[in-house]
Every structure is written in structure tokens, then in C-alpha cells.
Amino acid sequence: MSSIAIFQCCLTGGAGTVGELSSRLKVRPYTDKDLVEEAVRKYGGDPAKVQKLLAGKVSVFNKFTLDKEKAMAIFRSILASKLEAPGNHLFFGLHPVLISQDIKEVLKVLVVDSKESRIQRGIKEGLSEKQSKEKVRVHDVKAVTLTDFLFKKDAYDASLFDLVIPLENCNHLEISEEIMKYFQSSSLLRTKQSQQAIADMKLEAAVSLKLLNNGHNLRVSVHDGEVTITVSNSLFNLKKLEDDLRQLVQPIDGILELHFDEIKTHEANIYRQQKFELPSRVLFVDDEKDFVHTVSERLINRNVGTFPVYDGEMALDIVENDPPDVMVLDLKMPGIHGTEVLKKVKQIKPDIEVIILTGHGSIKDEQLCMELGAFAYLTKPIDIELLTETIRAANQKIQTENESDQIMAA
């Protein structure tokens, strides 16, 4: 059997097109919401956060948490399992781009129209011009964020699809007819090669997730059950890394052979494996840029995932949209004073642990900060080991409280 996967611009009649195709194929459409719900059901997590991993901006902390990469592997595993099942399938949303292009029994379709045409269509449907523009902008940002993360390509790049249909003045019935015509006339058959491509997609997802869960963010490819992991040949500890990776992934079912593709790089370097038991979402707020960069690098070398910002406004924006677990906060900064930032953080996200680090504080400042809920009050110049241990203690407090909440919920 064969399937259709539609990646459609917003305000191009997507619901009508999918409804018509669903009726003609006699299948229920599988949407982004379905994928998120299945991921939560099988792997756990907060649905809103999982949805954001599919269709939201990449977190500033992602290079330390690898959450986006893990989510993509989970989504691909779920889609591969669905494609293994008999019958036709109709995929609709952003997620069709996750389906491997080697799977020839799936017709990947892009229905596209110009930004201006979509805005005008939104206005005809009852939106104000401002609302219509915002709806188009939000959807396009989500789409581009996903395809840029996956492929370094624009969301509407024709190379990602088998069929591109410009909407122009067509209605959803005409678009559906065009898709069905191509679907029925193309060689979209369930062959041994296509089934192997599905198995390869599932195996690639399993190997990637195993590596990611153990702190290894490496490129994985699979062809006919043979797994290739790409590593740099200039690593000081290359042989040990390859032995560790082999021991890690070899037990996964379905691997016929395991290879390492050693790419050439000019400079020797040390491989860094992420350690998720250590703090990985630390926001460092200080207007002294050189100081922030130096201390951030030293913290990262101690496996503390740190992202720097240089004023209170930037910090509060991140707290609102991409909250850290721990914040290291200066007091005397341009704009919003550190005590005001602390007060607002505790109002917006009270679970964030805030460590004050200042060179201009007083006993009165310390008393105020502790009353406002600061975890600790440290002064410059700071001993990096003391700062590291304080961050780890704050992070441990968060983890302990989270575990307690889970036990109470159970």
C-alpha cells in the first residue's frame, strides 16, 4: 500500500484538501497533534514542551541538552513504525519532512502559495490584515525552523518533496484531484526496497536516540541494515571513542554491520560527550562581556551548560520563552537592576534557582536578595570551583524537588 504526506503552507485550504483526500483514501489523517500525543504516550514528557520541540525555535540551551535531536529521533521512530503497518496513510502538517526520501511508497507533497496571496486569503476568511500577516509569519517561522534544523534548507525547497503544487487560484477539490492523479499514476508501491528503507529509517532513529541519550551528538546513516557513524579522524581519543560507541549501539536489534566514517579535519581536538546529570540549562546574566565569556567557557569545560546574556531585559525574555533551570545574576547592570530581575523571575518562573554574583553588593543587598528567594549570594572575584559547586547544588535542589513532585503525583 502507499501513502501521501502533505506539507502545506497555512491559509492555502489545507483542511479542505486533507478532508477530501481522507474521504477518497478512506483513512483518518495523521497530524502533528497525533504525532506529539503518541510521543508523549510512548516516551513521556509535557505535551506543550514536546509540541515546541517539533514546531518551536531551537532552545539556546539545546547544544547542552540535545533535546531537539532526541525529539527528532523519537518522531522518526514513531513515523517509521506507522509506515510499517499495513494500509494507506495520510500525513498532514510539518512532520512529513521527517519521513526519509528513500521511502518511495510515500508521496511527499508541498502545496504552496505566495505570502501576499495567503495574507489576502486570510482577510477573505474574516481575519484582519494584522492577524492574517501574523498567522502567516508564525507558521513560516515554525516551518523554516524545522527544515533549517534538519537539512539547512528553506521549508519550501522543492528538493524536499516529490510533488510541488502552486495553489494560485485552485480550490481544495482541484488540489486534491491533482494529488490523486499523481498518486495513482506514479510507482508508489510497497516493494522490498521501500520496506527496507522504512526499516533503515527506524534503525537510524534507534541508533541516534541511543547515542543522544548517552551524550553523543553524531551523524548516523543506515543503508540495508548497515549503520555508519560519522566521527572526526583528528580526535585525540578516536580509537577509544569508536570502541565505546560500538559497545553502546551493537546490542540494538537490526544492525547487520557497524562502520565509522572518519572525516578529515585540520586541527586535532578533544571530543566532548554531554553529561546530562550535570546542570545543562544555566543562564549567566552580567554586562561585563569579557568576564561572562571567560567564566562561561570555564563552566562549560566543567560540563555546566551555560548561555550568556548581558542585561536584565534579555534575561527576562529568555525566562519567559526558554526558561533556564539556574540563573547566575549580576546586580549592577544597565537598565533593569539585578534585584528587580530577581523579583520578576520569581514571579514569572518561581522554580528557577537564582545565584547572585556581584562585585558591587552590600549587606543590605544580600539580605534583600535572600528575602526575594535567591539560592545563594556570591561576590567577585569568584573562585570557579565555588561557583561550579553552587550551580550544581542549585541544580540538585531542582532535581530533588522534581523527583518529589513525581512521587506525589504517582
CB atoms within 10 A of CB 240: 11
Mean of pLDDT values over 388-397: 95
- Predicted confidence (pLDDT) per residue in 21-73, tens digit: 999 999 999 999 999 999 999 999 999 999 999 999 999 999 999 999 999 99
How much of the chain is in helix, strand and coil states, percent to nearest 5?
A: 50, 15, 30
Measured in degrees and rounded to the nearest 5, phi and psi for residue 96 equal: -55, -25
CB atoms within 10 A of CB 139: 18
Instruction: Give the global pTM.
Output: 0.91
- pLDDT the model gives residue 408: 33
- pLDDT the model gives residue 2: 87
- pLDDT the model gives residue 237: 81
Closest CA to 82 of 187, 190, 198, 194: 198
- Predicted confidence (pLDDT) per residue in 239-285, tens digit: 899 999 999 999 999 999 999 998 877 665 667 788 877 789 999 99
The pLDDT > 70 percentage for the chain reads 97
Confidence of residue 407 (pLDDT cuts 50, 70, 90): very low
- pLDDT the model gives residue 201: 98
- Predicted confidence (pLDDT) per residue in 191-232, tens digit: 899 999 999 999 999 999 999 999 999 999 999 999 999 998
- pLDDT the model gives residue 231: 92
Mean of pLDDT values over 92-110: 96
- pLDDT the model gives residue 94: 97
How far is the first Cα of the chain from the last one, in angstroms, to the nearest whole number? Answer: 42
Cross-strand pairs, 3 = 89, 106
Q: Which of 120-134, 261-275, 325-339, 349-363 has the lowest mean pLDDT?
A: 261-275
What the block records as the C-alpha cell of 213 is 541519550
The answer to whether 4 and 90 have CB atoms below 8 angstroms apart is: yes
Mean of pLDDT values over 92-107: 96
Q: Which helix (H) or strand (E) holds 383?
A: none
152's torsion region: left (phi>0), alpha (psi -120 to 50) or beta? left
pLDDT greater than 80 at residue 350: yes
CA-to-CA distance for 377 and 365, rounded, in angstroms?
Answer: 9
Mean of pLDDT values over 311-333: 96
The pLDDT > 90 percentage for the chain reads 85
What domains can be seen in the chain, in order of their start residue? 3-186 (3.40.50.300), 193-263 (3.30.1340), 282-409 (3.40.50.2300)
pLDDT greater than 70 at residue 403: no
- pLDDT the model gives residue 113: 94
Closest CA to 10 of 110, 160, 146: 110
Q: If you average pLDDT over every residue of the chain, what do you get?
A: 93
Burial environment of residue 317 by CB neighbours within 10 A (0 to 12, 13 to 18, 19 or more): exposed
Confidence of residue 409 (pLDDT cuts 50, 70, 90): very low
pLDDT greater than 60 at residue 184: yes
CA-to-CA distance for 73 and 78, rounded, in angstroms?
Answer: 9
- pLDDT the model gives residue 328: 98
Cross-strand pairs, 109 = 6, 163
Q: Which helix (H) or strand (E) holds 21?
A: helix 14-25
pLDDT greater than 90 at residue 108: yes
